[in-house]
């Protein structure tokens, strides 16, 4: 009898020769449990998804209730489906006033695709501006705006008319002109190793977009829903986007993404041609029911309010000569080490000792620290102890 691991390696497509190969039986709160009952602290929230931790009972109840009523009925946007309607209503109630309409997708990358198309369609312009070291997803459009040549070059030709600017560099904003359809940017860059921009930069970017009639697309797929200590990352910077991108924590553990804009902008998808973006499963009723329940928990339990304190605790604990810097905002943090080799050894030791951390796609010498927002101070102490032990071990 082959083991599960052997079957996984034989039958499930692999995208590296070095998958983590961890096996879990169940997950609850901040913990993942293997078949022997060993608990691992999930210090990365499944890459920015499990903001409420795993198996939140209210999210599970909402999923079960919806499954009993109906699952897929029709492609997106035709039938009036209660979970989609209620979820959009709730999201709009917490958005800034200009974001009045939500288009639900299957994933983050599909939200990116929809938003890029919408910006081109609405402005009638072709040029797109994105940032170096950005990550927006893995489909062709999203890959075209990824700021890392290494992952792109094998897939050309990609979208034409994409230009790159340096993140947090005000000089480069002069590239935004009346020819530019949109600037797509992560409010806090994730895969670049967590880079928080200056307030003055983001405000200048906003002003330049407004001045040139360019749509500002903020990708908050990783940063939203309390991750940075506010519901949305842009709240730290006193600006609002023209199009907001959401996914990951949006579904409370279920797969759903969204792009949101004003009625005026969004209505461009209805004309010349109609059906400007089509998706079968986008906004699946079960995912929307889960997402709504998750958002209610996030708001009712005021989880955002505890994030800054938890960040401060982590920063106060993770002090070691080998940790060169802790970057980030809230519970979206990166601990910078000397190089990838050291980082990888430390990460492996942490995992062995029951704390799951990892590195970043475009920044291999930094360790990702992004626990569920529900992590307690004691659990933070325990996780940081394990990290420090591993750092010390290899120093």
The residue among 195 and 349 lying less far from ligand PMP, judged by its C-beta, is 195
**Binding status of residue 137 toward ligand PMP by CB under 6 A:** yes
Of the pair 247, 366, the CB lying nearest ligand PMP is at 247
State the number of binding residues for ligand PMP (CB under 6 A): 14
**HSE-up of residue 140 (Cα within 13 Å, Cβ side):** 7
CA distance linking residue 124 with residue 29, whole number of Å: 47
329 near ligand PMP (CB under 6 A): no
User: Does 224 sit near ligand PMP (CB under 6 A)?
Assistant: no
Interface residues for ligand PMP in 20-49 (CB under 6 A)?
47
Q: How far is the CB of 90 from ligand PMP (least distance, A)?
A: 21
CB of 220 to ligand PMP, least distance (A): 8
Q: Which stretch binds ligand PMP (CB under 6 A): 117-125, 134-142, 209-217, 313-321?
A: 134-142
Per CB under 6 A, contacts with ligand PMP among 164-223 are 186, 190, 219, 221-222
Binding mask 49-88 for ligand PMP (x = CB under 6 A): ----------------------------------------
Within a 10 A sphere around the Cβ of 267, how many other Cβ atoms?
Answer: 13
Which of 83, 108, 226, 291 contacts ligand PMP by CB under 6 A? 108
Ordered alpha helix ranges (H), the chain: 4-11, 45-48, 57-69, 82-94, 108-123, 140-144, 149-152, 199-212, 263-266, 285-300, 307-317, 340-352, 377-393
> Does 136 sit near ligand PMP (CB under 6 A)?
yes
Rounded Cα distance, 355 and 364, in Å: 18
Identity of the residue, 68 or 150, whose beta carbon is nearer to ligand PMP in the bound complex: 150
How far apart (Å, rounded) are the C-alpha atoms in residues 190 and 206?
Answer: 20
Burial 90-124 (b: 16+ CB within 10 A, else e): bbeeebeeebbbbbbbbbbbbbbbbbbbbbbbbbe
Q: Measured from the CB atom, is 229 or 257 closer to ligand PMP?
A: 257
Q: Is the dihedral of CA 162, 241, 336, 42 positive or negative?
A: negative
Helix (H) or strand (E) holding 43: none
* Interacting residue ranges for ligand PMP, rule: CB under 6 A: 47, 107-109, 135-137, 186, 190, 219, 221-222, 247, 257
């Amino acid at each position: 009898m082959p083991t599960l691991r052997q079957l996984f390696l034989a039958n499930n497509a692999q995208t590296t020769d070095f998958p983590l190969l961890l096996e879990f039986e169940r997950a609850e709160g901040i913990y993942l449990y293997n078949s022997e009952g060993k608990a691992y602290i999930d210090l990365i929230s499944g890459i920015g998804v499990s903001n409420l931790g795993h198996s939140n009972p209210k999210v599970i109840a909402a999923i079960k209730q919806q499954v009993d009523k109906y699952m897929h009925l029709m492609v997106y946007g035709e039938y009036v489906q209660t979970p989609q309607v209620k979820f959009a209503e709730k999201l709009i109630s917490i958005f800034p006033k200009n974001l009045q309409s939500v288009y639900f997708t299957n994933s983050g990358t599909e939200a990116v695709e929809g938003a890029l198309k919408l910006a081109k369609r609405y402005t009638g312009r072709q040029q797109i501006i994105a940032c170096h070291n950005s990550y927006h997803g893995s489909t062709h459009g999203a890959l075209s705006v990824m700021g890392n040549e290494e992952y792109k070059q094998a897939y050309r030709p990609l979208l034409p008319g994409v230009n790159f600017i340096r993140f947090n560099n005000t000089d480069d904003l002069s590239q935004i002109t009346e020819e530019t359809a949109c600037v797509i940017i992560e409010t806090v860059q994730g895969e670049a190793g967590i880079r928080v921009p200056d307030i003055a930069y983001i405000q200048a970017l906003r002003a330049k977009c407004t001045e040139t009639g360019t749509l500002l697309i903020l990708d908050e797929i990783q940063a939203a829903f309390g991750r940075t200590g506010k519901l949305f990352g842009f709240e730290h910077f006193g600006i609002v986007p023209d199009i907001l991108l959401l996914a990951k924590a949006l579904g409370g553990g279920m797969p759903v993404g969204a792009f949101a804009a004003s009625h005026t902008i969004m209505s461009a998808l209805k004309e010349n041609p109609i059906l400007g973006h089509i998706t079968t499963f986008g906004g699946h009723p079960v995912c929307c029911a889960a997402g709504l329940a998750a958002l209610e928990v996030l708001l009712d339990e005021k989880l955002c309010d505890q994030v800054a304190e938890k960040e401060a605790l982590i920063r106060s604990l993770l002090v070691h000569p080998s940790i060169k810097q802790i970057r980030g905002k809230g519970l979206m943090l990166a601990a910078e080490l000397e190089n990838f080799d050291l980082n990888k050894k430390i990460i492996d030791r942490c995992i062995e000792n029951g704390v799951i951390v990892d590195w970043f796609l475009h920044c291999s010498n930094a360790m990702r620290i992004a626990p569920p927002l529900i992590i307690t101070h004691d659990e933070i102490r325990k996780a940081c102890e394990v990290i420090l032990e591993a750092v010390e071990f290899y120093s």
